[in-house]
Amino acid sequence: MPVPAALTRTSTDTHCPYCALQCGMEVRTAEAGVSVAPREFPTNRGGMCQKGWTSATLLTSAGRVTTPLLREHRDAPLRPVSWDTALDHVASRLAELREQHGADSVGVFGGGGLTNEKAYQLGKFARVALGTSQVDYNGRFCMSSAAAAGIKAFGMDRGMPFPVSDVAQADAVLLIGANVAETMPPFMRHVLPAARSGGLIVIDPRRTPTAEQASLHLQPAPGTDLALALGMLHAVVADGHLDHRYLADRTSGFDQVWRIAAAWWPERVERVTGVAAADQRAAVRLLARARNAYVLTARGTEQHASGVATVSAWINLCLALGLPGRPGSGYGCLTGQGNGQGGREHGQKADQLPGYRKIDDPAARAHVAGVWGVDPDSLPGPGRSAYELLDALGTGTGPRALLVFGSNLVVSAPRAGHVAARLDALELLVVADFVLSETAAAADVVFPVTQWAEEDGTMTSLEGRVLLRQRALSAPHGVRSDLELLQGLAIRLGQPAQRFQTEAEEVFEELRRASAGGIADYSGISYDRLRAGEALHWPVPGVDHPGTPRAFLDRFAHPDGLARFQPVDHTGPAEPPDAEFPLYATTGRVLQHYQSGAQTRRVPELLAAQPEAFVEVHPDTARRAGVHDGQWAAVTSRRGQVLARVRCLPSMRLDTVFLPFHFPGSERANLITNPALDPTSRMPEFKVCAVRLAPADAEALPA
């Protein structure tokens, strides 16, 4: 495929298309092709990981889709058609389904990698052009539990309420369920000072590359993090580390929390988690004696059916030590997807409107409807959460059509085999993507859309900083932006063209007005301020406001200004091991791949480094299961079976196996994962399920 035509400039400052660290980079265009290079920026300090270095390869991938594809009927192949043909077909089918079965017969599924403008426009399109309540996004699978816990404790969800660079000044850093050495390597620059001074603590069932750098590695059984947090809180009190003045001045509710934690002395916790009581106390001492300390959670401790309670327990620990809102210390969540923060702030989540407003709040509905020029009563109410939406597809009570933007559900959703069957039961599946992902390959219509370097737009990093990602290249002929796609469909569904703008800056101007006065207030942010290089962390409630890089310094976001302890207790995973399925399985990422792998598996250098699924297992566990290093094994749960090549590691727990979730087909780790949902966040329990291990059937091996 030819290199896209370059614009007049040959070097464009932008940001990496992958994780929420949003490393600063340059896109360089020349006759020889397109390349990228890191630039100095606070989050990456001139560094970049292997994924970032190879990201230009995506722009000229041989697998790029450059024309709409349409399937005449379910058994027919996808064939190229014109944009008008594809748009007319989709709009006609959507109108027909809505007429026959109501607005909620159509669902929309977004992604945490979409720009703020696209996420905003997608939520608006769902509720105004389609009138459906059935809209959610894959960020529900990412950090929804931490978001809910943050709102409960602090009154506001901003993943890291302080700049990333502050972490580098810490004497102690506690990372829980975060393997940043592989998932966001440049972040390690910020935690290495604590590691060198003996203050890096890592909590993870695996001996990850991050844990290798730790001064203290706590290795609990999967699904027991909440018990560990309670044990450490007990040690805070029993060993005299409780910050009584901070509790009195800045918090409420500690007594109710202590009634629970009092029963979880470290020796009891050791029996539940496998973490030595002495190590629990040592971790607490490191945090308590540090001048500056940070506690950071990530997917490993959040993706559980008790994820909100578990994160709340870690926040309770932080509050007991007096860390949140204290200069040089705090609690934060390491957002995963590129726009995981902004993606959940502006309306593509089932229960939200722009500005992090609640969709069932009459005042919020009136404000946003006024910006959109519609009657507040015309807006639907809350819809199904992500997995519940997918589970209902094609059942007669759920959507009969689904529009997917920026998500590869066939690989990334829990109980993936079941989700693929639900997608197949739809009357219409429409996917917007720039490659033929596994989900796009199953669609009835595929729209080819621009990717990161071919469009303008803003992203919000894990530290709540709004960034401008500038267009560096022209898109290939035949490719349109998601904003153009949404406008094309909206017009055909009877909407005025001006209601759905196609220029990102114009959409952002409307987003500013829609978010004004909300928790995530972007009203003072403009493209001009971002082009000028201002560091704007939301909320930014006015054009003269400097932004809020460090939230909670004076007060928390609850009306009384106090942080709230949350009384939570340990219940364990939804599916513990038993005689039939005697092992824990947990999942995660590897250095070379990102999310479902739809992008990184198309980069030859990355695929060559990690070409297939593997299962990490202790040598003794492998021996008992009758498998050996390098052999293909079957990992089976109550929901399905995944095939993976065995890697024997003495550092693994005897009761645990690990699988990466980036691979397709029979190597999909999510074929076995448990869709048990957290009652508050509706987060599935990706991080633990009961499995058995056995040699793979030779006839079932991947080609």
Tokens of 95: 């109108």
Q: What does pLDDT average to over the chain? A: 96
Q: What is the pLDDT of residue 701?
A: 83
Tokens of 687: 């991080």
- In sequence order, what DSSP letters do the residues of 272-303 get, joined into one string? HH---HHHHHHHHHHHHH-SSEEEEE-HHHHS
Is 575 inside any structural domain?
A: no
The mean pLDDT value for 13-19 works out to 94
The mean pLDDT value for 473-499 works out to 97
Q: How many domains in the chain?
A: 4
DSSP-based three-state secondary structure for 115: coil
- Which among 104, 176, 171 is positioned nearest to 146, based on CA atoms? 176
Check which CATH number belongs to the domain holding 266 and give it: 3.40.228.10
Local confidence band at 143 (pLDDT 50, 70, 90 cut-offs): confident
pLDDT in tens, 390-416: 999 999 999 999 999 999 999 999 999
pLDDT over 70 for what percent of the chain?
99
My answer on whether 486 and 595 are in the same domain is no
Is 570 inside any structural domain?
A: no
Q: Three-state SS across 37-63?
A: EECCCCCCCCCCCHHHHCHHHHHHCCC
Local confidence band at 142 (pLDDT 50, 70, 90 cut-offs): confident
My answer on whether 405 and 519 are in the same domain is yes
Q: Taking the model in full, what pTM does it have?
A: 0.95
Check which CATH number belongs to the domain holding 410 and give it: 3.40.50.740
Local confidence band at 63 (pLDDT 50, 70, 90 cut-offs): confident
pLDDT in tens, 549-599: 999 999 999 999 999 999 999 999 999 999 999 999 999 999 999 999 999
- Which among 644, 689, 660 is positioned nearest to 600, based on CA atoms? 660
pLDDT in tens, 599-618: 999 999 999 999 999 999 99
Q: What is the pLDDT of residue 702?
A: 80
Q: Check pLDDT > 90 for residue 2.
A: no
My answer on whether 254 and 268 are in the same domain is yes
My answer on whether 491 and 611 are in the same domain is no
Q: Which of 118-132, 622-636, 688-702 has the lowest mean pLDDT?
A: 688-702
Check which CATH number belongs to the domain holding 28 and give it: 2.20.25.90
For tokens 């029993």, what's the residue? 238
Local confidence band at 319 (pLDDT 50, 70, 90 cut-offs): very high
Q: What angle do CA 653, 654, 659 make, to 5 degrees?
A: 65
**DSSP symbol at 674:** E
How far apart are alpha carbons 684 and 687 in whole angstroms?
9
Is 564 inside any structural domain?
A: no
For tokens 């569904």, what's the residue? 493
Angle between helices 225-238 and 254-261 (to 10 degrees): 110
483 and 498 in contact (C-beta within 8 Å)? no
Check which CATH number belongs to the domain holding 624 and give it: 2.40.40.20
Q: What is the pLDDT of residue 1?
A: 41
How far apart are alpha carbons 111 and 119 in whole angstroms?
8
My answer on whether 174 and 270 are in the same domain is yes
Local confidence band at 6 (pLDDT 50, 70, 90 cut-offs): very low
Which of 294, 317, 333 is a domain's end point? 333
My answer on whether 132 and 161 are in the same domain is no
Is 551 inside any structural domain?
A: no
191 and 160 in contact (C-beta within 8 Å)? no
The set of residues, in sequence order, having a beta carbon less than 8 Å from that of 32 and lying 6+ positions away, is none
Q: What is the pLDDT of residue 379?
A: 98
Is 542 inside any structural domain?
A: no
Q: What is the pLDDT of residue 31?
A: 80
My answer on whether 301 and 153 are in the same domain is yes
Paired residues of 13 in beta bridges: 26
Tokens of 100: 């026959």
Peptide bond connecting 539 to the previous residue in cis, omega within 30 degrees of 0: yes
Q: How many CA atoms lie within 13 A of 484 on its CB side?
A: 13
Q: Check pLDDT > 60 for residue 258.
A: yes
My answer on whether 519 and 373 are in the same domain is yes
118 and 454 in contact (C-beta within 8 Å)? no
How far apart are alpha carbons 352 and 380 in whole angstroms?
11
DSSP-based three-state secondary structure for 658: strand
Number of residues that make up the chain: 703
Q: How many angstroms from the chain centroid is the CA of residue 636?
A: 26
My answer on whether 154 and 215 are in the same domain is yes
pLDDT in tens, 526-561: 999 999 999 999 999 999 999 999 999 999 999 999
My answer on whether 288 and 363 are in the same domain is no
How far apart are alpha carbons 214 and 196 in whole angstroms?
9
Q: What is the pLDDT of residue 700?
A: 77
The range of the structural domain enclosing residue 20 comes to 11-60
Q: What is the pLDDT of residue 550?
A: 97
Q: Check pLDDT > 90 for residue 516.
A: yes
Is 399 inside any structural domain?
A: yes
Is 665 inside any structural domain?
A: yes
The mean pLDDT value for 377-385 works out to 97
My answer on whether 376 and 455 are in the same domain is yes
Q: What is the pLDDT of residue 403?
A: 98
Is 653 inside any structural domain?
A: yes
My answer on whether 56 and 126 are in the same domain is no
Local confidence band at 368 (pLDDT 50, 70, 90 cut-offs): very high
Which of 311, 333, 355 is a domain's end point? 333
The mean pLDDT value for 665-684 works out to 97
The set of residues, in sequence order, having a beta carbon less than 8 Å from that of 74 and lying 6+ positions away, is 424, 444
Local confidence band at 7 (pLDDT 50, 70, 90 cut-offs): very low
In the chain, DSSP finds a helix count (H) and a strand count (E) of: 25, 30
Which of 317, 333, 349 is a domain's end point? 333
Tokens of 619: 């040598």
